[in-house]
Amino acid sequence: MTHKSYRLYGYRWVVLAVFMFVNLTIQILWIAYAPITGPAAAFYGVTDLQIGFLAMVFMIAFLPLSLPVSWALDTYGFRPTVSIGVVLMAVFGILRGLAGANYTLVLLSTIGLAAAQPFLLNAWTKVPAQWFAVEERATAVGLVTLANLVGTALGMVLTPILTESLPIPTVQLIYGGVAAFSAVLFVLLSREKPLTPPCPPGLEVRALMFDGLKHALKVKSFWLYLLVSFIGLGIFNGVTTWVENIIRPRGFTPTEAGTLGALMLVGGVLGAVIIPPFSDRQRKRQRYLLLGILLAIPGLVGLTFATSAWLLFVSAFAMGFFLISTSPIGMQYAAEVTYPTPEGTSNGLIQLFGQASVVFVYIMEAMKSSDDSFTPALVLAVGLLIVSAILITRMKDPVYGD
């Protein structure tokens, strides 16, 4: 695709690849304690909830940082802004590995890592907008989503395996080293934008952040999607954070918890890759959002009640496939329906609402039954997905790009 005033560059895939790599590594660092909650609590001499807090602090830190980071993305550009995040990730990733058995130092390092995350997550739609054609953008966001999920899956699967033969701090140091390597690659290889725009004149122009913010908050469909995002990410984060605790009362092992988490994420990876291109091709977002939410419900029901491993694993895969497929489509939907709001602003608001769903992670813990079962909270989650489907029926497809 070429034109005298705009063209696509092959280097866009290099920029996307290094951006995907840093998103992958921050997710490994986020989830690294969830599949070993029990052993980690014993190692550090703390409670399960304190280990769970190492994942929750990422969501808590996101709340005050999201909008300032979005402002920086739209004011200074994605490369310098994301570079701040990757340097924080590298430094605190290594420090957490050097913290030894001191839980307080681990927590402080984790807070540093949590501060890095918004710099990466809020740029998900910014990179595709700078480098990719309109008809490729949901697919590009889908690939970033894929990297995010692969990182979470790797943290889920590798951590229990590695901690069988290595001390927990050594495993964390390995993860910190990988994070530092990805940070170096990003700083060396990323570029702000191509020499010429990737789309026809006018489509790349966006309003100033605060003007765009005021505009976005007047769009009804955007508000509805923010609520859907809040529910969807709340359920995903809740299940991911408490994965071992959820299935422990049914007699499943930590290894099976890691397998369940991995299958849910593998399903999510496939969903994020397979479904967004159909949405791009048809320029339809609402129908694919509705499809994903509705088809995720049976998977969540199976995850809630399954007592056999095969049914549990199939349910987790199905829920991941359909629920996570809605994320890249929804982010691109928001960028389109709020035009000319800057992509960093709409993306930042979505991530902000999604991370605010940390309250649901706490609610899941609080709703445990007397035998430590998470069934009441999971039933609530099923009901919330039904509410999400109803909200999506009230949303309208964007006209931007049509």
HEC string of the chain equals CECCCCECCCCHHHHHHHHHHHHHHHHHHHHCCHHHHHHHHHHHCCCHHHHHHHHHHHHHHHHHHHHHHHHHHHHHCHHHHHHHHHHHHHHHHHHHHCCCCCHHHHHHHHHHHHHHHHHHHCCCCHHHHHHCCHHHHHHHHHHHHHHHHHHHHHHHHHHHHHCCCCCHHHHHHHHHHHHHHHHHHHHHHCCCCCCCCCCCCCCCCCCCHHHHHHHHCCCHHHHHHHHHHHHHHHHHHHHHHCHHHHHHHHCCCHHHHHHHHHHHHHHHHHHHHHCHHHHHHHCCCHHHHHHHHHHHHHHHHHHHHCCCHHHHHHHHHHHHHHHHHHHHHHHHHHHHHCCCCCHHHHHHHHHHHHHHCHHHHHHHHHCCCCCCCCHHHHHHHHHHHHHHHHHHHCCCCCCCCC
Distance CA 323, CA 224 (A): 17
Mean pLDDT, rounded, of the chain: 85
294 CB-near residues (< 8 Å, 6+ apart): 322, 389
How many angstroms separate the CA atoms of 355 and 114, rounded?
11
87 pLDDT higher than 90? yes
User: Residue 186's pLDDT band (boundaries 50, 70, 90)?
Assistant: very high
Mean pLDDT of 169-191: 95
Of these ranges, 67-81, 90-104, 217-231, the one predicted with the greatest mean pLDDT is 90-104
The CATH topology of domain 12-393 is Growth Hormone; Chain: A; (1.20.1250)
Average pLDDT over residues 133-138: 74
Position 107 pLDDT exceeds 80: yes
Identity of the highest mean pLDDT range in 52-66, 82-96, 260-274, 375-389: 82-96
Instruction: Tell me the pTM.
Output: 0.73
> What is the per-residue pLDDT for 247?
85
Q: Could you tell me which residue, 182 or 12, shows the higher pLDDT?
A: 182
The answer, yes or no, to whether residue 209 has pLDDT greater than 70, is no
Domain boundaries, the chain: 12-393
Per-residue pLDDT band for 208 (boundaries 50, 70, 90) equals: very low
Of the chain, the percentage scoring pLDDT greater than 90 comes to 37
Of residues 305 and 256, which shows the higher confidence score?
A: 305
- Tell me the pLDDT tens digit for each residue of 303-334: 889 888 899 999 999 999 999 888 888 888 88
pLDDT at 147: 87
Q: Report the first-to-last Cα separation within the chain, whole angstroms.
A: 18
Is the CA virtual torsion 37, 40, 45, 51 positive or negative? negative
Residue-level pLDDT at 199: 62
Average pLDDT over residues 175-186: 96
Judge contact between 163 and 36, C-beta under 8 A: yes
The confidence score (pLDDT) of residue 282 equals 81
- Whether the CB-CB separation of 286 and 392 falls below 8 Å is answered with yes
How far apart (Å, rounded) are the C-alpha atoms in residues 55 and 61? 11
C-alpha to C-alpha distance for 122 and 68, rounded to whole angstroms? 10
Judge contact between 289 and 329, C-beta under 8 A: yes
